[in-house]
């Protein structure tokens, strides 16, 4: 990578919550950040605040992914960093998970990673450089109940990191996962997930509610030049709730 040029980062699901905090952190480090979200108006608001570029993108839609990645390359010429953050964060007991809901969670949380990563690694591979982070979850460590489909996709995203590290390393690309614990994002605060704080905060080593800006610095490190020797790994960022 030519170090004089501005690095370009694509963050999916960046209209709010953890994705927005990551977008803001990477912009503060001098990157041009593409704020991509199915909520195009929300993406616009965040991108205006951080001097980025907004894209309306449903990561589970193959045509949209192809179009938007093509636009980014046309407009910005490169993609150095990809953060796979977009996900549905459901709270549904196993008995109530319909096959339709199961498929939708697989489609956004897992197919979405395939579609965006497959398109972006083709570009990074030609450039001989790339940094990818999947936002997983410590639910894969804790086995958190009432979101089995979600936990399964987060485990899959960690499996993908382990498998792809070996294939992408020779192309100059690192890929890692960041696994947050419960975080007070707009999504979590808008539903029954918020009740989880009462149970989880006492188990944390640091006893306060996590916020999106608690997660962003770990992502910024893993996509930095300094993390060249780290790939295929999962970094748990959960105030010590789980320890592995």
Question: How far is residue 23's CA from residue 34's CA, in Å, rounded to a whole number?
Answer: 8
- 185 touches, from ligand NAD, ligand 4PL, none (C-beta below 5 to 8 Å by class): ligand NAD
Question: Which residues between 88 and 117 bind ligand NAD (CB under 6 A)?
Answer: 88-89, 108, 112
CA 156 vs. chain centroid, Å, equals 13
Task: Kindly write out the interface string for residues 65-104 of this chain, putting x where it contacts ligand 4PL by CB under 6 A and - elsewhere.
Answer: ------------------------x---------------
Residue 15 · residue 55 · CB < 8 Å:
no
The site that binds ligand NAD (CB under 6 A) totals a number of residues, namely: 31
- 158 touches, from ligand NAD, ligand 4PL, none (C-beta below 5 to 8 Å by class): none
114 is catalytic: no
What is the side-by-side strand order in the sheet with 8-12?
53-56, 32-37, 8-12, 81-84, 130-135, 173-180, 234-237
Task: Kindly write out the interface string for residues 13-42 of this chain, putting x where it contacts ligand NAD by CB under 6 A and - elsewhere.
Answer: x-xxxxx-----------------xxx--x
Tokens of 59: 């990561």
Smallest separation (angstroms) from ligand NAD to the CB of 108: 4
Beta-bridge mates of residue 177: 134, 234
The site that binds ligand 4PL (CB under 6 A) totals a number of residues, namely: 12
- 35 touches, from ligand 4PL, ligand NAD, none (C-beta below 5 to 8 Å by class): none
Radius of gyration of the chain (CA): 17
Beta-bridge mates of residue 135: 178
- 18 touches, from ligand NAD, ligand 4PL, none (C-beta below 5 to 8 Å by class): ligand NAD
Out of 200, 215, 216, 218, point to the residue binding ligand 4PL (CB under 6 A): 200
What number of other Cβ atoms are within 10 A of residue 121's Cβ?
A: 20
Residue 193 near ligand 4PL by CB under 6 A? yes
Residue closer to ligand 4PL, measured from CB, 171 or 235: 235
Vertex 98: Cα angle to 96 and 104 (nearest 5)? 125
SS3 of residue 33 by DSSP: strand
Question: How far is residue 101's CA from residue 137's CA, in Å, rounded to a whole number?
Answer: 19
Question: How far is residue 183's CA from residue 19's CA, in Å, rounded to a whole number?
Answer: 12
Smallest separation (angstroms) from ligand 4PL to the CB of 90: 9
Residue 196 near ligand 4PL by CB under 6 A? yes
Residues 6+ apart with CB under 8 A from 101: 90, 92, 149
Tokens of 130: 């790339």
Binding stretches for ligand NAD (CB under 6 A): 12-13, 15-19, 37-39, 42, 57-60, 85-89, 108, 112, 135, 137, 180, 182-183, 185-188
Binding stretches for ligand 4PL (CB under 6 A): 89, 137-139, 142, 144, 181-182, 188, 193, 196, 200
């Amino acid at each position: 990578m030519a170090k004089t040029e501005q690095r370009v980062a694509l963050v999916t699901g960046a209209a709010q919550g953890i994705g927005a905090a990551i977008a803001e952190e990477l912009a503060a480090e001098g990157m041009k950040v593409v704020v991509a979200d199915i909520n195009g108006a929300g993406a616009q608001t965040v991108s205006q605040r951080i001097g980025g570029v907004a894209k309306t993108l449903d990561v589970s839609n193959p045509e949209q992914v192809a179009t938007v990645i093509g636009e980014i390359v046309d407009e910005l010429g490169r993609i150095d960093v990809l953060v796979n953050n977009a996900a549905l964060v459901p709270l549904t007991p196993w008995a109530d998970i319909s096959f339709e809901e199961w498929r939708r969670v697989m489609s956004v949380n897992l197919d979405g990673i395939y579609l965006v990563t497959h398109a972006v690694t083709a570009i990074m591979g030609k450039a001989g450089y790339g940094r990818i982070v999947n936002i997983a979850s410590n639910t894969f460590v804790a086995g958190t109940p009432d979101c089995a489909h979600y936990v399964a996709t987060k485990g899959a995203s960690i499996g993908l990191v382990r498998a792809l590290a070996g294939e992408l390393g020779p192309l100059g690309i690192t890929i890692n996962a960041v696994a947050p614990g419960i975080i007070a994002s707009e999504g979590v605060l808008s539903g029954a997930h918020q009740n989880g704080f009462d149970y989880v905060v006492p188990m944390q080593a640091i006893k306060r509610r996590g916020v999106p800006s608690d997660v962003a610095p770990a992502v910024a490190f893993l996509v930095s030049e300094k993390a060249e020797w780290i790939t295929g790994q999962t970094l748990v960022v959960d105030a010590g709730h789980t320890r592995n």
